[in-house]
Amino acid sequence: MPVRPAIFLLLGAFLCPAKEVPLPPKIRRQIELEIFEGKNNSNPAAPQLVLPEGPFAALFAGGIFPGKFLGIDPAKGIRWQHPAVAEPFHLKPGTVGFLQLTPTANAAAPDCESRLVSGDQFTGKLISLDAKSLTLDATHCGRLVIPRQHISALLPRSAEGDALIQGFQNPAEWVFTHGEAEGGLLEKLVNKQGRWMIKNNAAICPGGNGALLGRKLPGNPQAIRMDFDLRSPQGNPQIGFRFFTDNLTNHRAGHSLDLTFRKGKATAKRQPIDRDAGQNGRIGKSIPLPALGKRAAHITIHASLRPAQLHLAINGQHIGSWESEQPLEKFGAGILFVQRGKQPARIENLVIRKSSGHSPIGRQLPAGLKQDHITFTNGDHIEGEIKEIKKGIAICKSSFGDIKLPLAKIRIAQLARKAILKHKRPEGAAVITLANQTQITGQLKIADAQTLNLTSPTLGKISIPLNAIRTIDFQTPKNRIPGFPDPNAKPKTKNGNKRDDPMNGLPNIPPPPGCDP
């Protein structure tokens, strides 16, 4: 062949786009599963704080020790078993910032949450409330008698509606849309473009910007609560959620309320976005996320249309709230999970419920309330005195007489206090967070392989099963582990002022101390 025609053929081979050859379904699925399970060693583009998946101890000096928690001796320290060390050893008191454990204990669903002035909170079965105290069968903590003056608020759990969706049992009800392919032919051949799959009642995506998993919610709800466990094996998640969307196949089009986890922050937006007009649809400010690492995190998102609000909680701790000044012009009944990066993601234990549509954290009222303040599930409220609660009925004395209020109709009851109590954290105390939102501050006395004993400055001695504990946090605002975000830090504006709650014009309710880092 002459030289010149050969050159033209070679140039044509390079300049003409190659046709993509699809991989066989079995091979493609195996590659996707291997990427999720960590067999693909490609590193994420940005540095990530990757924490061990199982239990670990994080030191103030910066070291992280995976292993097993065996107990606490106040004199010797924390007894720990490292997988690379033959014998258990003690970590000196004062050197450990927090312990991350793996709770396995099961418990009956609570019917009430009790929040204390100190920042502690308990869930369980409400037995009674009178003028002196609250009696609560606290989950994993036994029966507690809490002085009434120490109670900030009661939140009955019966305000949520019936489940609309539970899990991913029927894949045919979901709409799958492939992600945007990146790179050249070689990357496409190994299927770097993402796609969601459903396996063992879990939704899995190996990564790839723009992979969508969506469906319509039955009954066209105007407000929902969505709970699920999220795992991202290569580091912090890169995922978005679209609520009330009218487009299940394109996350950049249609109308929706959006919440995205990316670059260690949660960002809220309202669609549609008019880019030509210089609008980006952002609602409020981005809020830092706690470091999640490889561990499964329980995510709770409240979304409502009227008003257009989003509320985020992670592992039971309130992270942030957003409200759009403009409502959605149009909306649908769809929900979308959107993969927003190369990192894999796994979603399981999904439950979506119809919600009352009102803020789950409640309005922050002045600390010195002269009367009890009750907010109902429909948004109405009254003031008066809750004389007693018994057998699911609250008897309230108001200006127009005594009335009986079923707890199922109460969203939050904020209690009056005769005096403003000031709480100082005892020296050497820790914040213990359980798997069910319970949070206790106290001095650790002793712990063996089954039980942790502590002394609360409010409630006295409490015993907790070790297999119910998620974290034991020794950090204080002045002594924190470098590299971990402070979960108690309030977001600030550009000029350094603390940002107000956009819903009520009042300071944001901070998450209780000891939020899972």
Model pLDDT, residue 504: 30
Going by pLDDT thresholds of 50, 70 and 90, the confidence category of residue 55 is confident
Distance, CA of 112 to CA of 297 (rounded, Å): 22
Average pLDDT for the chain: 76
Which residues is 455 bridged to in the sheet? 443, 461
Distance, CA of 239 to CA of 337 (rounded, Å): 7
Average pLDDT of the residues in 335-345:
89
Q: What is the C-alpha end-to-end distance of the chain, expressed in Å?
A: 68
Distance, CA of 470 to CA of 430 (rounded, Å): 13
Going by pLDDT thresholds of 50, 70 and 90, the confidence category of residue 505 is very low
* Ordered structural domains, the chain, with CATH: 112-160+360-414 (no CATH), 163-354 (2.60.120.560)
Task: Note whether 324 and 502 are within 8 A (CB).
Answer: no
Whether the model clears a pTM of 0.85, i.e. scores above it, the answer is no
- Residue 505 phi, psi (nearest 5): 70, 20
Going by pLDDT thresholds of 50, 70 and 90, the confidence category of residue 195 is confident
User: Per-residue pLDDT for 324 more than 50?
Assistant: yes
Going by pLDDT thresholds of 50, 70 and 90, the confidence category of residue 446 is confident
Model pLDDT, residue 103: 84
Task: Note whether 257 and 267 are within 8 A (CB).
Answer: no
Span 117-127, pLDDT tens digits: 888 889 889 99
Of residues 14 and 419, more confidently modeled: 419
User: Per-residue pLDDT for 182 more than 60?
Assistant: no
Residues in the chain: 517
